[in-house]
Structure 1
Amino acid sequence: MSEAFMALWASIVRTVVPIVVGAVLGWFASVNITLDPEFGGLLTALLTTLLTVIYYVAVRLFETYISPEIGWLLGYAKTPDSYSKDQQGRYEAE
């Protein structure tokens, strides 16, 4: 497989995993809260969004400042190369 495809795949995995984790955590957080059904759906969506952002930011900070191996919590330990520029200022995936 090409490097561009591998970088694309890594970025997709590193995007989807936090969404799934946030959805599961949001559901678990709201499952025992008894509310109006209409508000319950809104609360679950809000908790999912909030927990997804918190999870992603926390893992990225830990990955950057503590250990790159923590990136496995995003589904792929290596950050995608397509996010970095080469010496001439071009993106590597171009």
Structure 2
Amino acid sequence: MNLYASLIRTGVPAAVGWLVALALKVGLELPADAVTGVLTPVIIFAYYGLFRFAEEHVSPRFGWLLGYARPPKYDLPRPTPAA
């Protein structure tokens, strides 16, 4: 489940960033490559950062805007005894 949660929480901001960049492209006089190559990662970073901050410091309910209610928790690997 942790892998699924982390993939969802990565994919949702990526999809939002791509959709917002496409929407902004309609009103801008920029080449399509510039919009896709520059605006999409910037929007993804801003979207994820904003809602991750809100989830951590305001309310855990903001996690739904990242596509999953809780951040993934990863278990630490157990140390193996040295032979």
Length-normalised TM-score, structure 1: 0.75
**Residue of structure 2 in register with 1:53 after alignment:** 45
Corresponding residue number in structure 1 for 2:32: 40
Contact 1:59–1:71 (CA under 8 A) maintained in structure 2: yes
Where in structure 1 are there 5+ consecutive unaligned residues? 1-5
Aligned residue for 2:5?
10
> 5+ residue gaps in structure 2?
79-83
CA distance in 1, matches of 2:36, 2:3: 30
How far apart are residue 45 of structure 1 and its match?
A: 2.2
Classify 1:72/1:91 alpha carbon distance in 2 versus 1 (closer, same or farther; 3 Å): farther
Q: CA deviation at 1:91?
A: 5.1
CA distance in structure 2 between the aligned counterparts of 1:68 and 1:19, rounded to whole angstroms: 20
Q: Deviations over 1:39-85 (max 9, x none)?
A: 33222321111100000000100000000110000000111111xx6
Please list every run of at least 4 consecutive aligned residues from structure 1 whose deviation after the TM superposition is greater than 3 angstroms.
none
In 1, Cα distance between equivalents of 2:77 and 2:21: 36
Letter of the 2:67 counterpart:
G
Q: Could you tell me whether the CA contact under 8 Å between 1:26 and 1:45 is conserved in 2?
A: no
Equivalent position of 2:81 in the other structure: none
2:71 aligned with 1:79, yes or no?
A: yes
Q: What letter is aligned with 1:61? A: F
Normalised by the length of structure 2, the TM-score is 0.84
> Alpha carbon RMSD of aligned pairs, Å?
1.7
